[in-house]
Amino acid sequence: MKCFSREWLRGIALLFISQAAVAMVIPNSTHLEAMLEKYMDEDGEWWVSKQRGKRAITESDMQIILDLHNKLRGQVYPSASNMEYMVWDTELERSAEAWAETCLWEHGPASLLPSIGQNLGAHWGRYRPPSFHVQAWYDEVRDYTYPYPQECNPYCPFRCSGPVCTHYTQVVWATSNRIGCAINLCHNMNIWGQIWPKAVYLVCNYSPKGNWWGHAPYKHGRSCSACPPSYGGGCKENLCYKDDGSDGHYPPQEPEETNYIEPEISRTQRPKPRQNTPTSTTPNADLDRNEVVNTQQMSQIVTCETRLRDKCKGTTCNRYECPAGCLYSKAKVIGSVYFEMQSSICRAAMHYGVIDNEGGWLDVTRLGRKEYFIKSNKHGVQSIGKYQSANSFTVSKVTVKAATCETTVAQLCPFEKPVRHCPRIYCPRNCMQENPHFARVIGTRIYSDKSSICRTAVHAGVIRNHLGGYIDVMPVDKRIQYIASYQNGIFSESLQNPPGGKAFRIFAVI
């Protein structure tokens, strides 16, 4: 089953093909020689062939891919009742490695495809972490309508046009609970007729196979309420979970040469490479250097009856957490699409379809006065009309984006008009060890938007270095100076009279 679609975004082409799914990116070729220094050997040479016994993917990349899959699977909307916790499978990793080494931009091998799902990704040019492709696969949710696609690949596999969403459905296929991936550097790889001189090829294999046409990827309902009996009622982060001690890692293997775990190659200009071996640092030592002390949240927890006017008096009001059961509340909703300020926040979000009766997170955008508000009945919530001028607001989903240790607020969420919400951000592990020249932290408590988001989160005590996790960022008034300090193992910089002076605060997601 193959399908082709092109979507051009700001000069960068995203091209997709789907057996289970494929994605790739064509970035600017001017940075070709600077790409993926982590995929060079110690002498600065590009991989030609891997030494026997070394893994096809680094420990850190494996963990990033696995963690992000589970995070994204646990946050699907509408919520899943049978979504299974995903674990790493070394056999799937080996089969992915074998296919990645062919450097063929197509699904394969044919003998294996009937029994596995597969996502492919490729890029060349500037460095992109594996999480970039995983997030791109998941972001196809914008073209997917639960429980099955309405306009996604409407004519595939015979004639393919329009949006693609089969990458997303494979990532969130409830019963696909094992994954194994490999990364290979391919010289002169043929990508749909274009020759990429040094393409980085990512292959992810999934089992059991998913992506069956005409079937929903998961069952909707309360999280973990329809888990298979084999999980024994276990639930972790909205996923069916069996506590067997592995916590998603591949199982221990006998100590033979073919099970050697390759440590991540350090960049030649980085004096403090990230440590990945189990013996390099103990969790207790890491906790001593990075104790989470800041649990202040940007989001506000509200009830079904809370009106926006009740929560927007002199406070920041844009992100809220709603409880379950608001469908049965009597709190009123005034308007459709544009809601009057006396409307229930949570029931307005249900009316618009941002959350369901299970509750969840939403963003609010305050607007100016509207001349009138129209009544309607949507998603089980009846709104009322009002033919009188009043201030208004709209609701939207809380988007989630994965960041690298180098990603800055200026890159991911520039504070400029028209104002838009910053996404909730997922930070990888071990950003503390990144070179401060590549991942700067500028300021204390209030930070410059040129700062690394994730290293700032460690500095501020919002996340633990060895765990990573979700964070929120909020723009604040511009600053004429930023103060340096040493916190949680990271030195931040001072800065005087920065141009623009844009600043942000960072918050925990508990």
Per the domain annotation, does 88 fall within a domain? yes
**CA distances, 501 to each of 12, 140, 408, 416 (Å):** 29, 35, 15, 12
Q: Is 206 left (phi over 0), alpha (psi -120 to 50) or beta?
A: beta
| 88 and 178 housed in the same domain | yes
| 161 and 231 housed in the same domain | yes
| 405 and 383 housed in the same domain | no
pLDDT digits (tens, 9 = 90+) for 373-388: 999 999 999 999 999 9
Per the domain annotation, does 431 fall within a domain? yes
| 127 and 232 housed in the same domain | yes
20 vs 274, higher pLDDT: 20
Per the domain annotation, does 484 fall within a domain? yes
| 326 and 413 housed in the same domain | no
Q: Cα 88 from chain centroid?
A: 18
- Cβ-contact 393, 333 below 8 angstroms: no
pLDDT digits (tens, 9 = 90+) for 39-60: 443 333 434 334 434 567 888 8
**Of 358, 378, 397, which closes a domain?**
397
Per the domain annotation, does 408 fall within a domain? yes
| 363 and 384 housed in the same domain | yes
Please provide the DSSP assignment of 271-336 as one string: SSPPP-STTTS-HHHHHHH--------SSEE--TT-BHHHH-SSS--SEEEEPS-GGG-----BEE
Per the domain annotation, does 9 fall within a domain? no
Residues spanned by the domain of 344: 300-397
Question: Would the pLDDT of 11 be above 70?
Answer: no
Q: What number is the average pLDDT over the span 182-206?
A: 91
Q: Any idea what the CATH number is for the domain that residue 482 is in? A: 2.170.130.20
384 vs 399, higher pLDDT: 384
Q: Cα 462 from chain centroid?
A: 18
Q: Any idea what the CATH number is for the domain that residue 199 is in? A: 3.40.33.10
User: Mean pLDDT in the chain?
Assistant: 78
pLDDT digits (tens, 9 = 90+) for 53-94: 456 788 889 999 999 999 999 999 999 999 999 999 999 999
CA distance 139 to 155: 21
Q: Of the given ranges (149-153, 264-268, 372-376), which has the lowest mean pLDDT?
A: 264-268
Q: What number is the average pLDDT over the span 342-355?
A: 95
CA distance 210 to 109: 17
pLDDT of the residue at 153: 60
CA distance 390 to 368: 8
Per the domain annotation, does 260 fall within a domain? no
**CA count, 13 A, side-chain hemisphere, 275:** 13
- The dihedral over CA atoms of 170, 173, 176, 179, expressed in degrees to the nearest 10, equals 40
pLDDT band for 297, please (50, 70, 90 cuts).
Answer: confident
CA distance 452 to 339: 36
Per the domain annotation, does 76 fall within a domain? yes
**Of 397, 421, 456, which closes a domain?**
397
| 85 and 171 housed in the same domain | yes
Residue 98's φ and ψ, nearest 5 degrees, are -60, -40
Show Cβ contacts of residue 157 under 8 Å, excluding neighbours closer than 6 positions. Answer: 1, 2, 3
| 103 and 143 housed in the same domain | yes
What residue has token string 């409830």? 174
| 77 and 224 housed in the same domain | yes
Per the domain annotation, does 197 fall within a domain? yes
Q: Per the structure, how many domains does the chain have?
A: 3
pLDDT digits (tens, 9 = 90+) for 224-250: 999 998 998 999 999 999 887 655 555
Question: Would the pLDDT of 428 be above 70?
Answer: yes
What percentage of residues in the chain have a pLDDT greater than 70? 74
Question: Would the pLDDT of 431 be above 60?
Answer: yes
pLDDT band for 193, please (50, 70, 90 cuts).
Answer: confident
| 66 and 126 housed in the same domain | yes
pLDDT band for 294, please (50, 70, 90 cuts).
Answer: low
pLDDT band for 422, please (50, 70, 90 cuts).
Answer: confident
| 111 and 202 housed in the same domain | yes
| 99 and 208 housed in the same domain | yes
pLDDT of the residue at 162: 64
pTM: predicted TM-score of the whole model, two decimal places: 0.46
**Of 342, 370, 397, which closes a domain?**
397
